[in-house]
């Protein structure tokens, strides 16, 4: 080891488990009390310490000789347990491959109020509780009415799903109805795209005719997946709100009551190899705990990714510790038994660091709203830019997204540039996004807003320049009006020598008054112009800010357009109920 390597090791030296060092004073105290508590014989009271070893024979003398070695053994043991470290070692990452696809019913009957305030609100609260407890594995979200739509494909970022849940309403979907079989088909398609061989699907619905999905449930089971059903609604049922403010009625004019068929939903879950549970309104209920990764029989698999962990070098202290124990007494061989069982390749590390890479820890911080920590921890530049954007550090986010590659990257860069006031650059970034994805509706809408804001900004600058030019012209005209008056005064004073003093005094007074009046008028005009320019600038800034705030980042608007786009491409036909 050369000098540079040694200095680098000293700089990186630390303890993996420093709490064990607190045993050092306790070990010394125990050793001191042991020595004080040993039996004091008459010889120990009368003899000098130097003569005592020659006067005492047997176990007491041997014990005194063993104590220094025992103290050294305790010190080595504590240092070993504290885990000295100064080197890193790459280790593979393991990932839980369990998958969960949530299928949420957004048919109009979910707005029935038998579960106050309505079924949909209670279902969203239940799913939010489930997602907050789900820290491992992948999760997807599908919504359905007359057709099924993918909201979020399989991802480890459950925070995104949680943020989108409050925006999900029946009004987002192109057509009302209820087709759970299509939701199961889309869920299976997402699992096949992700390569998931065994997963759980959770159907959250108040369906009264679930028999139409029985065959699809059996298909899921044959392919190794399980279908669970969360039944929403009471057996008594409730009226379905209509769009005109009333309630949906049957053909004969009678009030329509939406009642979930719990028996048929139970049969559907049985066909899918899963469970059927009624939605519980109790907060903190554990009825869906079996859907957590710990409750799913899937093995963690190694990924191509690696992380770097600190090596526990305390293992090298076991050999001198063994020799010291042998020097203490022969019974020290019993102490070697647990030391021999010490795993030679064990790497000590904090629990979270063992199972999570840097991006995983950053993702957890991002989900918890700690965007500052996420921005510092993320190695993925896209997520780092998103963390900065969430902190409203738009200029820094734009700097990170300069490495844009996809249409979404350019769209995010454009939004950050627009919020940071770089409107012209934002237009260029929106153009790049649209060039890569011409049907990017959100980018097109935001571009129009930014283009209008830039046009208004340029118009304001032109008006301000014209106002400045007008002020300069008025000032020049005022000066030109004062010069002829001064020339006339001089001619009068030369022609009339007899009344020179009186005329000069009168002319000087008039000139002074005219100058004061001109200066006052000019000052008033300048003040009015400054106030008008300031008011116009403030109004323009407020208008620009309002436009920027209208940039299309409303999840409901984006989801509605996304579902409409998917619906037009699917172009499915069939008769579905309107509620």
Residue 59, pLDDT above cutoff 50: no
Residues 180 and 279 in one domain: yes
Mean pLDDT of 160-175: 90
Residue 579 domain flag: no
| Residue at 448 is within a domain | yes
Residues 148 and 274 both lie in one domain = yes
The residue to which tokens 């106050």 are assigned: 116
Within this chain, do residues 83 and 105 fall inside the same structural domain, yes or no?
no
Is 70 a residue whose pLDDT tops 60?
Answer: yes
| Interval 35-42 mean pLDDT | 52
Residues written for the chain: 579
Residue 321: pLDDT band (50, 70, 90) is confident
The CATH number of whichever domain residue 177 belongs to comes to 3.40.50.410
- What mean pLDDT do residues 39-44 have? 51
Instruction: Kindly give the pairing relationship between strand 301-310 and strand 273-278.
Output: unpaired
* In the block, residue with structure tokens 């969430």: 390
Residue 495 pLDDT > 60, yes or no? no
Question: Could you tell me if residue 546 is inside a domain?
Answer: no
Q: Which of 433, 460, 487 is the last residue of a domain?
A: 460
Does the residue 141 lie in any domain? yes
Q: Using DSSP, state whether 392 is helix, strand or coil.
A: coil
Domain boundary among 416, 445, 460: 460
Segment 350-399, tens digit of pLDDT: 444 444 445 667 777 777 778 888 888 888 888 888 889 888 899 999 99
Residue 406 domain-assigned (yes or no): yes
The more confident residue out of 78 and 306 is 78
Which of residues 460, 483, 508 is at a domain's end?
A: 460
Cα–Cα distance between 45 and 395 in angstroms, integer? 81
Specify if 163 maps to a domain.
Answer: yes
CA distances, 172 to each of 112, 165, 316, 556, 578 (Å): 17, 12, 64, 7, 15
- Same domain for 127 and 264? yes
Q: Are strands 257-258 and 99-105 parallel, antiparallel or unpaired?
A: unpaired
Structure tokens, 416:
């950050």
Residues 209, 110 within the same domain: yes
Highest mean pLDDT among 103-107, 174-178, 377-381: 103-107
In a domain, 502, yes or no: no
**Residues 127 and 270 reside in one and the same domain:** yes
Q: Are residues 182 and 287 in the same domain?
A: yes
pLDDT-based confidence at residue 218 (cuts at 50, 70, 90): very high
> Is the distance from CB of 119 to CB of 232 less than 8 angstroms?
yes
How confident is the model at residue 529, as a pLDDT?
67
Is residue 260 domain-shared with residue 318, that is, in the same domain? no
Domain containing residue 415: CATH number: 1.25.40
Q: What is the mean pLDDT of residues 238-267?
A: 89
Same domain, 114 and 73: no
pLDDT value for 386: 87
**pLDDT per residue over 430-487, tens digit each?**
999 899 888 787 888 888 888 888 888 887 777 777 776 766 666 666 666 555 544 4
Q: Which domain holds residue 263?
A: 99-241+255-295
Average pLDDT (253-281) is 92
pLDDT of residue 133: 87
**232 within some domain:** yes
Number of domains in the chain: 3
Sign (positive or negative) of CA dihedral 55, 60, 62, 63: negative
Q: Where does the pLDDT of residue 185 fall: very low under 50, low under 70, confident under 90, or very high at 90 and above? A: very high
Residue where the block lists tokens 């009333």: 246
Same domain, yes or no, for 103 and 75?
Answer: no
Q: Are residues 77 and 204 in the same domain?
A: no
Question: Residue 305's pLDDT is what?
Answer: 54
- Pairing of the two strands 257-258 and 238-239: antiparallel
Structure tokens at 453: 């804001």
Task: Choose between 411 and 487: higher pLDDT.
Answer: 411
Mean pLDDT estimate for the chain: 77
Give pLDDT, residue 62: 45
Does 361 or 125 have the greater pLDDT score?
125
Domain check: are 71 and 137 in the same one? no
């Amino acid at each position: 080891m050369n000098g540079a390597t040694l200095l680098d090791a000293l700089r990186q030296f630390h303890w993996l488990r420093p709490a064990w060092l607190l045993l050092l004073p306790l070990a010394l105290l125990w050793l001191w009390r042991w020595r004080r508590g040993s039996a004091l014989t008459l010889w120990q009271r009368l003899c000098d310490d130097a003569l005592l070893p020659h006067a005492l024979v047997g176990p007491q003398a041997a014990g005194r000789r063993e104590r220094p070695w025992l103290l050294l053994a305790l010190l080595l043991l504590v240092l070993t347990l504290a885990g000295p470290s100064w080197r890193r070692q790459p280790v593979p990452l393991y990932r839980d491959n369990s998958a969960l696809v949530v299928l949420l019913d957004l048919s109009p009957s979910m707005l029935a109020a038998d579960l106050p305030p309505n079924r949909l609100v209670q279902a969203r609260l239940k799913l939010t509780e489930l997602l907050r407890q789900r820290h491992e594995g992948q999760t997807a979200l599908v919504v359905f009415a007359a057709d099924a739509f993918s909201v979020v494909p399989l991802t480890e970022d459950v925070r995104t799903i949680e943020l989108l849940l409050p925006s999900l309403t029946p009004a987002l979907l192109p057509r009302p109805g209820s087709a759970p079989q299509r939701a199961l088909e889309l869920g299976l398609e997402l699992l096949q795209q992700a390569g998931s061989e065994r997963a759980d699907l959770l159907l959250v619905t108040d369906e009264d005719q679930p028999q139409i999905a029985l065959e699809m449930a059996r298909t899921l089971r044959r392919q190794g997946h399980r279908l669970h059903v969360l039944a929403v609604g009471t057996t008594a049922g409730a009226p379905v709100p209509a769009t005109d403010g009333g309630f949906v009625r049957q053909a004969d004019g009678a009030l329509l009551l939406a009642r979930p068929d719990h028996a048929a939903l139970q049969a559907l879950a049985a066909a899918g190899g899963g469970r059927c549970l009624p939605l519980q309104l109790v907060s903190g209920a554990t009825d869906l705990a079996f859907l957590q990764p710990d409750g799913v029989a899937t093995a963690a698999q190694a990924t191509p990714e690696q992380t770097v962990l600190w090596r526990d070098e305390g293992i090298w202290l076991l050999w001198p510790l063994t020799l010291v124990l042998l020097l203490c007494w022969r019974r020290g061989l019993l102490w070697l038994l647990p030391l021999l069982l010490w795993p030679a390749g064990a790497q000590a590390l904090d629990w979270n660091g063992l199972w999570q890479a840097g991006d995983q820890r950053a993702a957890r911080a991002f989900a918890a709203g700690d965007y500052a920590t996420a921005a510092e921890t993320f190695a993925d530049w896209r997520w780092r830019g998103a963390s900065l954007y969430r902190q409203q550090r738009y200029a820094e986010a734009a700097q990170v997204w300069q490495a844009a590659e996809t249409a979404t990257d350019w769209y995010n860069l454009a939004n950050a540039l627009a919020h940071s006031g770089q409107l012209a650059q934002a237009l260029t970034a929106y153009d790049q996004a649209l060039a890569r994805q011409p049907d990017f509706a959100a980018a097109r809408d935001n571009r129009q807003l930014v283009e209008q804001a830039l046009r208004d900004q340029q118009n304001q600058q032109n008006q301000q320049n014209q106002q400045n030019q007008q002020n300069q012209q008025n000032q020049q005209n005022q000066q030109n009006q004062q010069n002829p008056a001064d020339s006339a005064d001089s001619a009068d004073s030369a022609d009339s020598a007899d009344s020179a003093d009186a005329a000069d005094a009168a002319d000087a007074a008039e000139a002074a008054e005219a100058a004061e009046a001109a200066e006052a008028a000019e000052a008033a005009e300048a003040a009015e112009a400054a106030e008008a320019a300031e008011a116009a600038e403030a109004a323009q800034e407020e208008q620009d800010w309002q436009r920027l705030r209208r940039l299309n980042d409303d999840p409901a608007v984006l989801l509605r357009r996304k579902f409409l786009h998917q619906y037009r491409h699917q172009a499915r036909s069939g008769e579905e109920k309107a509620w």
